[in-house]
Amino acid sequence: MTGRPLAQRPAALALNRAAAHPLAKPLLFLLCLGPLAGWIWAGSQGGLGANPAETLLRGTGLWTLRFLCLVLAVTPLRVWAGLVALARWRRLLGLVAFFYALLHFLAYAWLDMGFDPAAVARDLGKRPFALVGFVAFVGLLPLAATSWNGAIRWLGAARWRALHRLVYGIAMLGLLHFVWMRASKNRASEAAVYALILGVLFVARWLHAHRTKSRPSGRQPTSPPK
């Protein structure tokens, strides 16, 4: 093991070069659309199962949670593994998470509720896990709306960072929504995997914040954390 910073070690250098390649982000974007393409293909072939609405609801919700996990993994990987180039992907991953959350909500509002606002309101009042999921979706709206450079200048970097730290609370609400729903179907073990992943990511974020505050200079990271 050398004394070089993590980002300057051979493996990290190679991964950072790959992540910074001009084609890396377009390729990542296409990969992120993979689940949607899969559902479209399956739907055209009649392969969404006996209950297509349930398949789409479950799939869009699960991929929303997965992309939120990926968003939260960027800072730990950047800090602890030296993969600094991954910071370029964070905004794209966040917008993709919002996109799948929007698909999840539209599938619920259309396929379950027939786009009836009154039926949606009644259902949210009757099913707490649905209300928690809706609150998480609403929480993503300002994050998606401010995921552009002009918003950072408009809000100021400090307020922008504070706003986007809400992603941790939103992820917790999304996890609660998922756990609550799976527990009602006696499938809590599946949710435990995501609870463990998010728990590790939250601890890594806390350690990073604690280490940053402990620096003698008191300097904050230049890249807004998420």
pLDDT tens-digit map of 55-80 = 999 999 999 999 999 999 999 999 88
Q: Structure tokens of 224?
A: 């807004």
Name the residue range of residue 45's domain.
Answer: 6-213
As for how many domains the chain has, the answer is: 1
Question: 14-18, 57-61, 217-221 — which one is most confidently predicted on average?
Answer: 57-61
pLDDT of residue 218: 47
Q: Is residue 178 part of a domain?
A: yes
Q: Is residue 13 part of a domain?
A: yes
CB half-sphere exposure, 4, CA atoms < 13 A: 12
CA distance 105 to 111: 10
Q: Is residue 1 part of a domain?
A: no
Q: Which residue has the tokens 């910074």?
A: 20
Q: How many CB atoms lie within 10 A of CB 200?
A: 14
CA distance 3 to 86: 23
Q: Is residue 222 part of a domain?
A: no
Sign of CA dihedral 53, 56, 60, 63: positive
pLDDT tens-place string over residues 165-174: 999 999 999 9
CA distance 96 to 102: 10
pLDDT tens-place string over residues 84-95: 999 999 999 999
| 97 touches 64 (CB < 8 A) | yes
Q: Is residue 118 part of a domain?
A: yes
Q: Is residue 117 part of a domain?
A: yes
pLDDT tens-place string over residues 194-209: 999 999 999 998 998 8
Q: Is residue 68 part of a domain?
A: yes
In order of 25, 58, 90, 124, the CA distances from 37 in angstroms are 18, 16, 22, 30
Phi, psi of 217, rounded to the nearest 5 degrees: -75, -20
